Structure 1
Amino acid sequence: MTTGAEISPKPNLRVADATPSNWVDRWAPSSWQPYLRLARLDRPIGTWLLLIPCWWSMTLAQLNSSDHLPNLWYLVLFAIGAIAMRAAGCAYNDFVDADIDGRVERTRNRPLPSGQVSPGAALVFAGLMSLVGLAVLVAFNNFTIWLAIASLLIVAIYPFAKRFTSYPQLVLGLAFNWGALVGWAAIKGSIGLPALALYAGCVFWTVGYDTIYAHQDKEDDALLGLGSTALQLGEDTVPFVGVMYGLAGILWLVAGAFAGAHLVYFLAVVLVFLQMSWQVSTLDINNPSNCLWRFRSNRDVGLAVFAGLVADMALSWFAGLS
């Protein structure tokens, strides 16, 4: 897929923060690799972190409705939607940031700055992936459709945030966790207090983990005059991330209480808070590998809370049979 001037692909340009064993670099056809990299399928952690609030929210809504198991079809739909919208968002973000990415060590091998994909092709790809997301969205109720569409304004603003604020991580949190509202709406057809508390908690969570992530680029960001919480906070990062994670955990507990969750969910949140405490207590902001490892571990936080929600539903059903 190309538009405008033809750009010769440069194969085997692995992006710096992709794992050496990722399936795109190892197994995907070379002609597909630039677009799979553009979609971040060589680095799926972002897709997980976009998907998890959706799964949490819909499952919390079903728990509130006394359902016995999560809606498997909705889980699949949200997964497809997260992959597609993550791909669309990244292609758009890379189009906006192509010049900046070419001057940052970690991102210079991304498909646009490295010449693997043209700017026009990136926009076409973003449009196609958005259509996939729309196709998923129409399977839900009308309120959910319009609620999801409302997120596009924040998504459109996010790539520019680092140009005018020192807190782009907050903008990312507002955009990235919209699924915490959408998942609840998909089940209930409205927004409830549990969804609002969950969303707020997820925003704090994202500000925390993306501050960790941003420490990988702080030297380049400073030279380019870009803003980030990593630069703004410096050595105060560790207590700041601790506060963000603490607020996230409290709000997740509040969301569960509002929704009528049971002990197993609250235990899951407490356990993941211990993992988040490990992130904070062992964080070395001057070691990019240390930061990347702790950032990626937030997928496990998300899956553990989701497992707690599913176990809560199942145990509640089993207790009702006894």
Structure 2
Amino acid sequence: MIEAAARVADATGNWVDTLAPPWSRPYLRLARLDRPIGSWLLLLPCWWSAALAALVAHDLSRLPIVIALFFVGAFTMRGAGCTWNDITDRDLDAMVERTRSRPIPAGQVSVPQAFAFLVVQALIGLAVLLQFNRFAVATGIASLAIVAVYPFMKRITWWPQVVLGLAFSWGALMGFAVILGRIDGAALALYAGSIAWVIGYDTIYAHQDAEDDALIGVKSTARLFGKRTHQALIAFYAVAVALIGCAIALAGGGLPAWLGLVAFAAHLAWQIVRLKIDNPALCLRVFKSNRDAGLLLFAGLLVDAWMGAG
């Protein structure tokens, strides 16, 4: 019964609950390895950027190792970011039904223990980052300022999703920094498009907590848009598709990249049609489906890069 109560409400029945050693479970939950969707959403702009940069370079030789390193780095740094978020939000989390079972408010991990775990994850992330060129290392380090301030934004602005977009989309710059040693117009367009995508999907996610957030005074675009959420999603997702299309055009993308974008856009349209903001379980499912949307786009970009290098 104690272990069941310790599970986070929206993350039951996963490998952390069933296979991980009991002593490790609170730390794995801090890193959200019981809920890897956020890691995937952080990773996908990295993969988009790497594939698009390889297309520009007409060279796939470094792409496999870059994809692998981005995978490790994204999962590690998302874990570090979530640990930092849980440290700063521990009092708020205790007041929200969905988050009160997180390791810190539930008393499974102390704040000093969480800080120590944060340092370990950050060092692993640094080890990954140091595999790249100096420009990419500097670009990666620059993202830490946004990550550090993000948890406080929900107390200050109705638009914390914008700051999350700035952080979660940073990988759209990293592929160009790693493979080409520069950030050009295609990278900036991809970054801007990814930010719009993040604002959209995190608005869907935030609708799970809209009632609790209103009670404790936490701000979000979900509360800001309210019943106008569908119209807002149409706007942000349309901007995302348009800007990513600009990135593909600037990179000289071919038919596979455009087909990937069409599949991505169709998936986003499906989300808007499917969504019911008063159904938290459905909001979570629709939010999670963004991994599939991002993978569709990545597949198109990857095939295009492969054909362009051939």
TM-score bracket, normalised by the shorter chain, equals: over 0.9
Q: 1:16 aligns with which of 6, 9, 14?
A: 9
Equivalent pair of 1:106/1:217 in contact (CA under 8 Å): yes
- The Cα of 1:99 is off from its aligned counterpart by 0.5
Q: Which runs of 5+ in 2 are unaligned?
A: none
Match of 2:215 in 1: 223
- The Cα of 1:192 is off from its aligned counterpart by 0.6
Equivalent pair of 2:55/2:309 in contact (CA under 8 Å): no
State how far apart, in whole Å, the 1-side matches of 2:85 and 2:155 are. Answer: 13
Equivalent pair of 2:190/2:243 in contact (CA under 8 Å): yes
- The Cα of 1:315 is off from its aligned counterpart by 3.0
Superposition map of 1:222-261 within 5 A:
222-261=214-253
The number of equivalent residue pairs is: 308
State how far apart, in whole Å, the 2-side matches of 1:180 and 1:215 are. Answer: 26
Match of 1:311 in 2: 303
Superposition map of 1:84-233 within 5 A:
84-233=76-225
Equivalent pair of 1:51/1:79 in contact (CA under 8 Å): yes
- The Cα of 1:310 is off from its aligned counterpart by 1.4
- The Cα of 1:317 is off from its aligned counterpart by 4.4
Give me the TM-score of the superposition, normalised by structure 1: 0.94
Superposition map of 1:280-319 within 5 A:
280-318=272-310
Q: Does the residue aligned with 1:31 lie in a helix, a strand or coil?
A: helix
State how far apart, in whole Å, the 2-side matches of 1:67 and 1:28 are. Answer: 40
State how far apart, in whole Å, the 1-side matches of 2:269 and 2:98 are. Answer: 27
Equivalent pair of 2:51/2:301 in contact (CA under 8 Å): yes
Equivalent pair of 1:53/1:202 in contact (CA under 8 Å): yes
Superposition map of 1:31-46 within 5 A:
31-46=23-38
Match of 1:4 in 2: none
Bigger helix share = 2
Equivalent pair of 1:201/1:252 in contact (CA under 8 Å): yes
| 1:165-217 deviation line (CA, Å, top 9, x unaligned) | 00100010011111111111001111110000000000000000000000000
Match of 1:29 in 2: 21
Equivalent pair of 1:85/1:133 in contact (CA under 8 Å): yes
Q: Does the residue aligned with 1:59 lie in a helix, a strand or coil?
A: helix
Q: Does the residue aligned with 2:23 lie in a helix, a strand or coil?
A: coil
Equivalent pair of 1:69/1:310 in contact (CA under 8 Å): no
- The Cα of 1:267 is off from its aligned counterpart by 1.0
Give me the TM-score of the superposition, normalised by structure 2: 0.97
| 1:16-59 deviation line (CA, Å, top 9, x unaligned) | 111x3311111111111000000000000000000111111011
State how far apart, in whole Å, the 1-side matches of 2:107 and 2:60 are. Answer: 50
Q: Which runs of 5+ in 1 are unaligned?
A: 1-9
Root mean square deviation, CA, Å: 1.1
Equivalent pair of 2:55/2:251 in contact (CA under 8 Å): yes
